A and B are shown apart, each in its own frame.
Chain A
Amino acid sequence: MIRVSDLVTHYGERKILDGLDLTVFEGEILVIMGGSGSGKSTLLNHLLGLLTPTSGTIELLGMDFTHASAGNKQLLRRYMGMAFQNGALFSSMTLAENIQLPMREHTNLPQSTMDILTQMKLEVVNLGGFENLMPSELSGGMIKRAALARAIALDPELLFFDEPSAGLDPIVAAELDQLILRLRDGLQMTMVVVTHELDSAFTIADRIVVLDKGKIVFNGSVEAIRECPHETVVALINRQPQEQNQADSDAFIERLLN
C-alpha cells in the first residue's frame, strides 16, 4: 500500500527525518507515535504529498508519489482521505457541502445521489440529521466525526488521521476508536494514524511505529512494544518524564541575572 524508502527531509538546515524506511500493508491500521519534535507530523505531511522530501521516495498505491506528475497525483488523491487534527472543515459551507466537495471534484454524480451518499456517510459517524449545520455550530467531538465523514466521502482505500482523539473526553475518544475499527472491518480501508494517546493506540493498532529524532526506533505489534528495551519507547509507554539534568547552581544564577 505505502512504501517509504530512505526518506530524508529538512526544515531549512535542520534534518527532521533521517533515512526512514517504512511499509504499510493493505488492510492494516498503523499507528505512528513519538514525542514532540520526533517528526511524526512531518512524516504524515510527506505521506500526504503536502511536502517534498530532500531525498528518498514514497510509493503510494503502487505509484511513485514523489516523482509523479500533478495530473497523476490528482488521480490518486481520489483514493486517499485525511482527517485533520482540528477538522479543517470549510467554515463557509454546511456539513453536507463539506462532504460533497470531494464528490463534486472527482465524480459526476447527480445532486440527488450526492445527497443520499452524504446522509450515508453522516450516519456512519453518527451525525445523521446534522447536515445543515455550519462547522462553527459543532462541538469538538462532532467536528472530528464530521472530518472523518468527509475523509470517507469517496470510500478511499487509504485513510490518514492526525491526532484523532486529541482533546476529546475519554468516552467520545473510545467511541471514535470503535468507529475507526468498524471502518477498517466494514470497508477494508488501510489506515495510518498519528497519535500519542496510548489508550487509543493500543486499542486500534495492528502495528505501532515509534519515531525518535527522525528515525524509527520501534516497528512491531502492540504486544512487542511492551518488551522493547529502547529508552525512548519505554519512557513513552510508561509516561516517564525525562530526567532533567541537575542544574549547576552557579550556571542557573547566571542565566537568571542575564
Chain B
Amino acid sequence: MHTPDYRYYVESYLMNPLIAIEHIGRTVVKGIEELGFATVLLVQAVFWIFVGSFKKQPVRVSAVFLQMMQIGVAAVPIVAILSFAVGIMLAIQGIHTLRVFGAERQVVYGIALSVVREFGPLITGILVAGRTGSALAARIGTMRVSQEVDALKVMGINPVRYLVSPVLVAMLIMLPSLTFLANLAGLFGGAVFSVAELGMSFTAYADRCYSILTTDDLAQGLIKSLVFAVIIALVGVTNGFRVTGGAEGVGRSTTRSVVLSISFIVIADMIFTYFLNR
C-alpha cells in the first residue's frame, strides 16, 4: 500500500481545509482502534498467565527465562555504563550551578534525588525501549509475514500465550531490576566526580545518599519502571502483530515501535511524576 507523501496532504488541505479535519478524525479513529487492540492483547496475555495451565496452554517458565536473559541480562552492560555517565553529568552540572551559591557540597542532594526518582527509571526505560521494543516488533512482525503465527494457530498454540505472555512477565521482573542497577550506577558516577572535584570521601558521599533517600523515592522510581515495562511490551507486540506489507512493513513497524514506546514513556513519566508528588 503506497502511503501518499506530504505533498498530497498539503495540496488537498489547500484545496479544501475540511479535508484536514477529516484526516484528523480518521487518525483519531485509527489511534483508538490500535489502543483497543493493545488493551485486548494485554488482557489476553494476563489471562493466559493465570489460567493457561488449566487450559493446557501453560506459559512456560523456560520461555520467560529466555526473555529475561534477552531483555535484562543482555542489557546490563549498556544500562550500567550509560547510567554511570548520566551520574557523572549530573554531578558536573550540579556542581557548576551550585558554585554560584557556594553550595557545591549540597550536590549530593541533587544527584541522589534526580537519579533515583527520575533519571534511573527514565534512562533505563528509553534504553530498553530501543533494544527490546524494536526486537519485539521485528520478531513478531517477521513471524506474521512468513506465516509462522498462522503455523502456531494451526498447531493449537495460542500466539498471545506463546509470544506475549512470557515477554510481559519478563519485562515486569527485569525492568525494575535494571532500574535499580541504573540507580546504583548513576549514584556511583556522581560519587566518582564529586569525590574527585570536591574532595569529599566516598564514605561521606554514601552516607549523605543514605540519609537523603527515602523508601518513597525508590518506590516512585520502581513503580514508574513497572509502568514503562507494560508500555514497552504492549507497544512492541501491537506493532508486531499489525505489520502489513512484507520486509518494508516490518522496518516501518520496528521504527514506529521504538518511537512510540519512548514517547509514551516520557509522557507517562510526566503524568506519574505529577500525581505521585501532589
**In this assembly, does A102 line the interface, its C-beta being within 8 Å of a C-beta of chain B?**
yes
Contact partner of A105 (CB less than 8 A), chosen from B55, B151, B156, is B156
Q: Answer whether A101 and B153 are a contact pair too, CB < 8 Å, given A88-B147, A91-B148.
A: no
**In this assembly, does A10 line the interface, its C-beta being within 8 Å of a C-beta of chain B?**
no
Contact partner of A74 (CB less than 8 A), chosen from B139, B142, B156, is B156
Q: Answer whether A88 and B150 are a contact pair too, CB < 8 Å, given A71-B55, A74-B56.
A: yes
CB distance from A90 to the nearest CB of B (A): 6
CB distance from B143 to the nearest CB of A (A): 8
- Assess the B156–A50 pair: CB atoms within 8 A: no
**In this assembly, does A182 line the interface, its C-beta being within 8 Å of a C-beta of chain B?**
no
- Name the residue on A nearest B66 (C-beta): A92
**In this assembly, does B157 line the interface, its C-beta being within 8 Å of a C-beta of chain A?**
yes
Q: Hey, what's the 0/1 contact readout for B146-164 against A, CB within 8 Å counting as 1? A: 1110110111110000000
Tell which of B56, B147, B155 has the most Cβ of chain A within 10 Å.
B155
**In this assembly, does A80 line the interface, its C-beta being within 8 Å of a C-beta of chain B?**
yes
Q: Number of B residues contacting the other chain (C-beta, 8 Å)?
A: 16
Q: Number of A residues contacting the other chain (C-beta, 8 Å)?
A: 23
Q: Hey, what's the 0/1 contact readout for B89-121 against A, CB within 8 Å counting as 1? A: 000000000000000000000000000000000
- Assess the A77–B151 pair: CB atoms within 8 A: no
Q: Answer whether A88 and B57 are a contact pair too, CB < 8 Å, given A50-B153, A77-B155.
A: no
B residues near A (Cβ < 8 Å) are 55-57, 139, 142-143, 146-148, 150-151, 153-157
- Other A-B pairs, 11, CB within 8 Å; known A78-B156, A105-B156: A49-B154, A50-B153, A77-B156, A82-B151, A82-B154, A84-B150, A84-B151, A86-B146, A90-B148, A91-B142, A92-B139
Q: List 21 A-B contacts (CB under 8 A).
A: A48-B150, A48-B154, A49-B153, A50-B150, A50-B154, A71-B56, A74-B55, A77-B155, A77-B156, A84-B151, A85-B147, A86-B146, A88-B146, A88-B147, A88-B148, A91-B142, A92-B139, A101-B157, A105-B57, A105-B156, A106-B156
